[in-house]
Amino acid sequence: MDSSLSLSSFMGMDWPVRSLWPEITSLYRHGEELQELKRSLEQLEKLQDKILEEIQLMPPSQEIYPVACTMEKEGSGFALTLDTKDFSPEELSVRQVGRKLHVSGKSEKKQEDGKGSYSFRTQEFRRVFDLPQGVNPEAVTCSMADGKLYIQAPVNQPSDAAERMLPIDCQTVKTTQPETADTSTTQTTLNNPESTEHRVQPSAGQS
């Protein structure tokens, strides 16, 4: 057999070498897509961490809570009522300074939006009241019922003028007698009741 003919015949055959390129290209393309997906996931994770960090650093929303109150002064005492239905007794404070009442409340509640996120809402109020004249500042009481805070104090009751005897403190004043005075005369003077009682003069109309 002719070697040149055999080689030409071998070289002339159509080998399916080019059929491998589509598969190689497809694998390369899938690799790029996987790398792109990985980069996207990393960026998404960083973004999520940043959002969570901002949520933690974000201060809670705060608002001044308007509290309705009524003040009454009757003959039997003083009464102050505040609508505190959104506050628990532990969240309220009543401080008395002299004749002033400092009433405050602070409530913090967690709110969720249903999507996994949440925030805190703070409600706060402060009020100052003056105790009216005639009210006993040492008898102020506080109570809470049905979502209302009650502050009460009785009126000072006038005291009756009770009759009492006032004692008179009498002190005997010893006078210095001359050295030439007789001893018996000095003793007589000191023992004389009029000499110790003359300093207390009875008032007019008394015997």
Q: Which segment of 2-6, 146-150, 159-163 scores lowest on mean pLDDT? A: 2-6
Instruction: Give the residue, 115 or 124, on which the prediction is more confident.
Output: 124
The percentage of residues in the chain with a pLDDT greater than 90, rounded to a whole number, is 14
| Cβ atoms within 10 Å, residue 26 | 10
pLDDT at 38: 85
pLDDT at 48: 77
Instruction: Report the distance separating Cα 153 and Cα 150, nearest Å.
Output: 10
pLDDT at 205: 47
CB-based burial of residue 73 (10 Å sphere; 0-12 exposed, 13-18 middle, 19+ buried)? middle
Judged against a pLDDT cut of 80, whether residue 193 lies above it is answered with no
Residue 77 has phi, psi (to 5 degrees) of 160, -170
pLDDT at 200: 34
Q: Which segment of 3-7, 163-167, 182-186, 195-199 scores lowest on mean pLDDT? A: 195-199
Judged against a pLDDT cut of 70, whether residue 132 lies above it is answered with yes
For residue range 30-72, list pLDDT tens digits in order: 777 888 888 888 888 888 777 766 555 445 455 566 778 888 7
Judged against a pLDDT cut of 80, whether residue 12 lies above it is answered with no
What does DSSP say about strands 118-130 and 100-112: parallel, antiparallel, or unpaired? antiparallel
